[in-house]
Amino acid sequence: MALNLELNNKKEQISRAAIEGEKLLRRVFSHDDNIGARSTLTFGEPGSCKTAVTCHICEHFMYAQPSDKLFWRSSLNSPVQFTKLPKWHIYVEKDSGIRFFDRNTSKDITDELHKKRKITYFKTFHQLYSYAKPAVCNAVFFKDMHLKNVFEDNGSIQWFRFIRYLLRDFNWSHVFLDEYQEMVKAGNNKRKWHEINKHSDDITRARKSNVGIHGNCHQTEQIDYRVLTGFMIVLQLYGSRPFKYNMVSKSAIGALREPAIEYGAEGWISEAGHFGKVRFTKIYEPPSRSFEARIVEEYENIKKCSFCGRTYIPNRSDQQYCDKACKEKAYRKRKGG
């Protein structure tokens, strides 16, 4: 862990900020059953190294706490980031339709990864947890549940449920949510609004558990305010904006140096009424081979409702309708009602 400070004419002030920053960062990495794990949320504009900071936290736990299990959430249809880490393995929920493609050639490399034993398939959360290895970045891809009134699930519902599953016991584990705004986007309504509400309660509950939750996104206004207030520690990197729940000023954020390979990335870290300055000297280079995950419909276990045309996951092979309401409406229509 390299925490450095930038010297200027206000040497004492900067030194105090660096000391406080290091103290707060050590709290992120604390491993005390009496205190529990801490949750973190990292903000910054594209190129601010927010994913690199998340990788940094993940890699720290790989070596400092080798008995902890680490789970990583990735965006679909964009370069996966977990391959920048020294140890990783992919877990895919069965019937999810998740396939992996080389971004340079557009070739489907799923079978190739499977032959190299880089992919494991699972059916239940219990299987996933038992298969996952400690001290390895376990990159998980859940299926889209195709729930009614949920727009663009892409695995988010299952992530909410899996985090809830982890909170049921006191085993030490950590969840890393890259591009977190895709899961808890501000302005969601109907069913997704209620799912996010339950997830926000889980974020708060995590304070009393040994499950660390670490998310990153571009700006605070992108995510639902109910989730934002549940995180304990906030990291603000280059290009982030101040917000009312935080004491770091606009001028302090504006003075942050732009990330560079030779310097690293700096930012402000805060918890409650305390804040300080930190610098991460390791910038993770892109992997030699870039690939992405996509949901390919023909590999999903889905059907189209015979009445309304909605896509759904069937409970049995002869199921024709997405729910009981459509089945009853179709029956009345056939009877002329």
pLDDT at 5 over 60: no
**Where does the pLDDT of residue 14 fall: very low under 50, low under 70, confident under 90, or very high at 90 and above?**
low
**Range with the lowest mean pLDDT among 86-95, 131-140, 199-208?**
199-208
Domain boundaries along the sequence of the chain: 11-300, 302-337
Judge whether 253 and 236 are in contact, CB under 8 Å: yes
pTM of the model: 0.93
**Looking at 10-24, 115-129, 260-274, 316-330, which range is the least confident one?**
10-24
DSSP SS3 for 158 = helix
Helix, strand, coil share of the chain (percent; to 5): 30, 25, 45
Q: Token match 């950590």: residue? A: 174
Domain 11-300 annotated CATH 3.40.50.2000: no
Is 50 exceeded by the pLDDT of residue 62? yes
Within 19-111, strands assigned E span 40-43, 69-73, 88-93, 96-102
pLDDT at 187: 86
The rounded distance, in Å, linking the Cα atoms of 142 and 92 is: 6
In whole angstroms, what is the distance from residue 210 CA to residue 172 CA?
A: 5
Q: φ, ψ for residue 53 (rounded to 5)?
A: -65, -40
Is the predicted pLDDT of residue 337 greater than 90, yes or no? Answer: no
What confidence tens digit (pLDDT) does each residue in 124-173 have? 999 999 999 999 999 999 999 999 999 889 999 999 999 999 999 889 99
> Residue for token digits 């660096």?
18
pLDDT at 15 over 80: no
Distance CA 71, CA 172 (A): 12
